[in-house]
Structure 1
Amino acid sequence: MRRTATGMLLVMAAIFVASSHYLHVHPAVGFVRAFAEAAMVGGLADWFAVTALFRHPLGLPIPHTAIIPENKDRIADTMAQFLRDNFLTPTVVARRMQEMNLARAVGDYLATPSDSASGGSRIRAGAAELLAEFLESLDPERLGTQVRGGLKALAERVEVAPLLGQMLDAAIADRRHLPLIDAAIRWTGITLEANEDMVRQIIHERANAIVRWTGLDERLANSVIDGLYKLLAEVLVDPAHPLRTKLDEGLVSLASDLRQDEKLRAKVEQAKRDLLDNPAVADWWLGVWERLRASLIAAARDGNGAMSGQLGQSIAELGATLQQDTRLQAQINRFARRTAVGIATRYGGQIVQLVSETVRRWDARTVTDRIEGAVGRDLQFIRMNGTLVGGLVGVTIHALDMLL
């Protein structure tokens, strides 16, 4: 556009020179010459005006030229003030936010089917990567120690004995303890079977020499072991067995003591503190935390893993909820509006100060190039229009001169 405007000016100059040599040929040539002459004047005047905005014409330090570079600091302050007065006032922000359904827009974005190019997929991948990087940035030992300390402090504040008593009472009332008793009986039978030789050896060592000499110790051991097997089998198959009744009575008594017996409660609390202070428990927790952290990082980085699918599904469900729940939309929009107004009120001055300081830090050439690049095409139209309008004014003046 600059070359076009300059070309028009040169064309007018050429027409002016040519028409000056042919004035005697025809009176109409005078109109052509008047048009070209006035067009040159108009084009040069507008070229000077446009150029004077951004630089000194022809490099000459003419007063009131290079207006923008010379006044960039004042322009920066004016831009900042304009931004503050017209965009970052709480009233304007609140009115603009009132017209927006931000929650519905977010819901539409999140509910997009999660193909590779969709927003939901990008958010899912970004959230998973953010989680992985966050977990990797943590100091495993330090965080594990902190979490362990928090759990320990929480456990120390909770009295375990009454809680165990209540849980045992509830289990007995609902008969949920019976499978545990059956499992304990089966475990006892399996343990006895695995240690039969040890039981025989104990009976053999406790028997006197006469019993051993007669071989009665072996028969006694067989009788004891067979009796134990029979007792365990009877207890297992007979729900009304007296031993089961004794076990139930013992559990009921234990539950009551856990809630009411101060000595037992003190022993349980001491055992809890000893367990929490045991270094082996601390090492165990650090190992558990490190394995959990590693598995979470691997799951987050696995694009086809369960975590990725769960994140995608959760994001889609959140989007659908935001699309359909008008009450939730109203709450989120109200929160967003209050947040935006609060930011404008509290940080509006800092935002416009940032704009002002940024423009101030630009050198004069940067400011000139950016503004001229933004409006330069229209500025060259001003030069072209000035050339044409000047020519028309010149023709008008020439015609009036001939008439008068």
Structure 2
Amino acid sequence: MRRAATGMLVLMAAIFLWSGRYLDVHPAWGYIHAFAEAAMVGGLADWFAVTALFRRPLGLPIPHTAIIPENKDRIADTMAVFLRENFLIPQVVARRMREMNLAGAIGTYLADPGEEAGGRIRAGAGEMLVEVLESLDPERLGTQVRAGLASAIERLEVAPLLGQILDAMIADGRHRPIIDSIIRWAGLVLEDNEDMVRAMIHARANALLRFTGLDERLANSVLDGLYKLLAEVLVDPDHPLRAKIEEGLVDLARGLRDDPEMRARIERTKADILANPAVAEWWQGVWERVRRKLIAMLRGEGGEDAGKLLASLTEMGEALRDDPRLQLQVNRFARRTAVGIATRYGDNIVRLVSETVRRWDAQTITDRIEGAVGRDLQFIRMNGTLVGGLVGLTIHFLASVL
């Protein structure tokens, strides 16, 4: 395009020189001469303007030329500010995300990804993930994942969270099945340890009770009383002992939330568990099994498990596609996540753009911008040549008439 625009300028210069020899032959040659002369002026002016954007025309130190190289840093800051103010503002991100049904689109793809394209995408993504899982050092990767989880758990204060969960369970009545399970477990423990209970009673009975055999009857009475108590607590939802257990759970939830000493004990216990080498070894084994299972499933070697995974993904896709309430929740979560990223990391993204452009040398940024818009700029030169010629033709006509 640069050669075409320059060729048009050279053509106008040739017409100007050629037509100048025939001005006395016929008045029409004057119009051709005026058109070519003005076209040269317009073409040269636009060549100067276009060239001055990217470099100094003919290498001359003319003021206000080589605009882009000379203002590279200001352009970088302007691009960054434009990106921040038009794309990374939380309100803009929220509005854009509100117009998208991300959950519906994901659900449609998962439910029916398409025979050919979907298969290629899944195969390519699966192979890439397999290569990543195999190329990375399993022990090092597992250690990094464990360290990340441990760091996240260390920052998380567990006691208040447990207290809130326990409060919510009590408020909804979901603690009652747990109490029932505890009572049944207590009954089984008592049944498995009857001999130990009898031995304890015999050991504490005096000689008269043992001589008369009343210690055995006492042991039977104690065991029967305990079994009866557990049965009554299990079948009676209003039993006083059950109320005491619930009261204890309420006190436990309150302590987990509000008692600094209890919260400190929970945090110390959490730290001891995380620091235990046995936990690290257990996690390493879990991670290695998960990694191998993932590789086998992605390679199609998972057999029934792979089929279950695909079926689960399809069911999840159908739920996302067909359930408006689920879509609303997922879209809301995605919107809040995007807004949170824009709020927390928007300045970092802007700084990254600005610093990247600032690090480019002047020739690099000039070549990239000229490569992006240079074609249209050469059209400006062509249009300037034609418009200049038409203006010159009009002026020559008016001068002839007047």
Fold agreement, TM-score > 0.5: yes
- CA distance in 1 between counterparts of 2:135 and 2:46 reads 60
Q: Which amino acid aligns with 2:56?
A: H
1:169–1:383 distance in 2 versus 1, CA, 3 Å = same
Q: 1:395 to 1:295 in 2, by over 3 A?
A: closer
**Relative to 1, partners in 2 of residues 1:124 and 1:9: Cα closer, same or farther, differing over 3 Å?**
closer
Cα distance in 2 for partners of 1:354, 1:288 equals 39
The superposition leaves residues 276-335 of structure 1 with CA deviations (integer Å, 9 ceiling, x where unpaired) of xxxxx99x9899879956863663353243233333222222211110111111011111
Question: In the superposition, relative to structure 1, how do residues 322 and 4 fare at CA in structure 2: closer, same or farther (>3 Å)?
Answer: same
What is the DSSP-based 3-state SS (H/G/I as helix, E as strand, rest coil) of the residue aligned with 2:63?
Answer: coil
| 1:121 corresponding residue in structure 2 | 122
Q: Is the 8 A contact 1:168 1:255 kept in 2?
A: no
Report the equivalent of 1:277: none
Q: Any residues of structure 2 matched to 1:264-279 within 5 Å, and which?
A: none
TM-score, normalised with respect to structure 2 = 0.62
Whole-angstrom CA distance in 1 between matches of 2:197 and 2:183: 9
Residue 311, structure 1, aligned to residue 312, structure 2: no
Aligned 8 A contact 1:19 1:32 in 2: yes
Letter in 2 for 1:93: V
Q: What code does the residue aligned with 1:257 have?
A: E
Q: Which residue of 2 aligns with 1:302?
A: 299
Contact 1:115-1:121 within 8 A present in 2 as well: no
Aligned to 1:361: 359
Q: Aligned in 2, Cα 1:308/1:46: closer, same or farther, shift over 3 Å? A: same
Partner Cα distance (1:303, 1:258) in 2: 55
1:112 aligns with 2:112: yes
Q: Which residue of 1 aligns with 2:264?
A: none
In structure 2, the partner of 1:396 is 394
* Gap change, CA 1:385 and 1:99, over 3 Å in 2: same
Partner of 1:376: 374
| Alignment correspondent of 1:323 | 321
Q: Give the partner amino acid of 1:330.
A: L
Q: Please identify the structure whose Cα radius of gyration is greater.
A: 1
Aligned residue number for residue 194 of structure 2: 257
Equivalent in 344, 349, 360 of residue 342 of structure 2: 344
Q: Which residue of 2 aligns with 1:28?
A: 28
* Paired positions, count: 289
Aligned-residue offset at 1:5: 0.8
In structure 2, what is the equivalent of residue 7 of structure 1? 7
For residue 399 of structure 1, report the CA deviation from its aligned partner.
Answer: 1.4
Matched, 1:37 2:34: no
Q: Give the equivalent residue in structure 1 for 2:139.
A: 138
SS of 1:118's partner is helix
Distance of 2:196 and 2:124 partners within structure 1: 51
Quickly say closer, same or farther: Cα 1:164–1:52, change in 2 above 3 A. Answer: closer
Q: Distance in 2 between matches of 1:85 and 1:291?
A: 46
Identity %: 60
How far did 1:137 drift? 1.3
- Aligned 8 A contact 2:142 2:288 in 1: no
